């Protein structure tokens, strides 16, 4: 089941088109990557989902029906630009925002106690927000975003301001939220996070969706016939054969282990590569090298930009 759908969504600001015929479908219980360069239209789409404003054309659906104003209570939104009141105390502000999400004071305090314990930040309760570092303020805003157990969570650059340890902690929390039934729309420029977290992605560029699908299927779609083989043995016995029949991209030796990366030429088969190595060496590993999401992102955006010139 799709928890959220956008169908043929368009949005303009005067003569500027922010979104053009956008279609996305977010499966329930998934982490969905919303990707694109700065100014591509991601923030506009996120604001439409949050009902900050409406699309000029198209429809948006939540849980299989047209989205209603009251559905905003079932959405948690962590914006890239943080929105905390700097002069308020941490606990006071967290309670206030929890009440805005419909929690009673008792329920809000109970949930905040749980999250403050989990993040080891109980000592912050009476500190003013302005005294927090960027990463500490980010932790607080994350808690405020998730504490009312929304069905749909939207995280816009959630790791901004975090050191590697806290970023790893937050990744674990996001995965736990997904495993406990939440659906997450995840917007980021960090493609390594996309590979770690996302099940599906849509890539928007210059207001249009230019790539969408499951992450592992997209990586297969952009495979380039590159393989990496590691083995023990004398590389010189197979070097000439490899060079004549494959495009050898790299060879290196670490201790007694050879690592060779080759690109298949037209008509090559992977078993042909193995047949050259196995008679002369002890095979350790044989893997196809898929392009990274970062490489795919750059390639697709550059191609799209050239086509729109």
Hey, which residues does 272 pair with through a beta bridge? none
What is this structure's pTM?
Answer: 0.88
Neighbours of 98 (CB within 10 A): 21
Token duo for residue 244: 């004549």
Token duo for residue 263: 């690109």
Confidence band of 272 (pLDDT split at 50, 70, 90): confident
pLDDT average, residue stretch 157-167: 85
* Statement: residue 293 has pLDDT above 70: yes
Sketch out the chain's domains with CATH numbers. Answer: 2-220 (3.40.50.300), 224-288 (3.30.70)
Residue environment code for 69-86, b if the CB has 16+ CB neighbours within 10 A, otherwise e? eebbebbbbbbeeeebee
* Statement: residue 292 has pLDDT above 70: yes
pLDDT average, residue stretch 14-24: 94
Q: Which residue has the higher pLDDT, 200 or 256?
A: 200
Three-state DSSP class for residue 213 = strand
Give the pLDDT of residue 270: 79
> Tens digits of per-residue pLDDT, 59-95?
999 999 999 999 999 999 998 776 788 889 999 999 9
Give the pLDDT of residue 74: 93
Give the pLDDT of residue 86: 86
Give the pLDDT of residue 82: 67
* Statement: residue 161 has pLDDT above 80: no
Token duo for residue 235: 């590389």
Neighbours of 273 (CB within 10 A): 21
Q: What percent of the chain has pLDDT over 70?
A: 99
Give the pLDDT of residue 284: 94
pLDDT average, residue stretch 231-238: 91
Residue pair 57/8 in contact by the 8 Å Cβ criterion: yes
Overall residue count recorded for the chain in this entry? 309
CA–CA separation, 291 and 298 (whole Å): 11
* Statement: residue 134 has pLDDT above 90: no
Cα-Cα-Cα-Cα dihedral of 271, 276, 279, 285, to 10°? -60
Give the pLDDT of residue 120: 87
> Tens digits of per-residue pLDDT, 170-193?
999 999 999 999 999 999 888 888
Give the pLDDT of residue 177: 95
Token duo for residue 243: 């060079």
Give the pLDDT of residue 59: 95
Give the pLDDT of residue 39: 86
Q: Which helix (H) or strand (E) holds 118?
A: helix 105-118
């Amino acid at each position: 089941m799709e928890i959220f759908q956008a169908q043929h969504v368009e949005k303009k600001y005067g003569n500027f088109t922010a979104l053009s015929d956008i279609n996305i479908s977010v499966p329930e219980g998934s982490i969905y990557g919303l990707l694109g360069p700065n100014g591509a239209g991601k923030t506009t789409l996120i604001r439409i989902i949050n009902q900050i404003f409406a699309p000029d054309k198209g429809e948006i659906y939540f849980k299989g029906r047209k989205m209603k104003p009251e559905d905003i209570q079932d959405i948690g939104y962590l914006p890239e630009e943080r929105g905390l009141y700097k002069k308020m105390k941490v606990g006071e502000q967290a309670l206030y925002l929890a009440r805005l999400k419909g929690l009673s004071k008792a329920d809000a305090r109970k949930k905040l106690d749980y999250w403050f314990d989990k993040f080891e930040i109980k000592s912050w309760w009476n500190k003013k927000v302005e005294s927090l570092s960027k990463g500490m303020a980010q932790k607080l805003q994350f808690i405020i975003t998730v504490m009312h157990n929304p069905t749909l969570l939207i995280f816009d650059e959630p790791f901004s301001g975090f050191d590697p340890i806290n970023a790893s902690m937050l990744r674990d929390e996001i995965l736990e939220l997904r495993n406990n039934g939440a659906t997450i729309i995840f917007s980021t420029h960090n493609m390594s996070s996309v590979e770690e977290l996302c099940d599906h992605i849509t890539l928007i560029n210059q207001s249009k969706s230019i790539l969408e699908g499951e992450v592992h299927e997209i990586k297969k779609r952009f495979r380039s016939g590159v393989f990496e083989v590691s083995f023990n043995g004398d590389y010189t016995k197979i070097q000439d054969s490899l060079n004549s029949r494959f495009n050898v991209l790299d060879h290196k030796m670490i201790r007694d282990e050879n690592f060779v990366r080759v690109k298949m030429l037209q008509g090559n088969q992977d078993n042909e590569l193995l047949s050259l190595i196995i008679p002369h060496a002890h095979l350790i590993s044989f893997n196809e090298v898929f392009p990274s999401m970062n490489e795919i992102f750059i390639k697709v955006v550059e191609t799209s930009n050239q086509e729109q010139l």
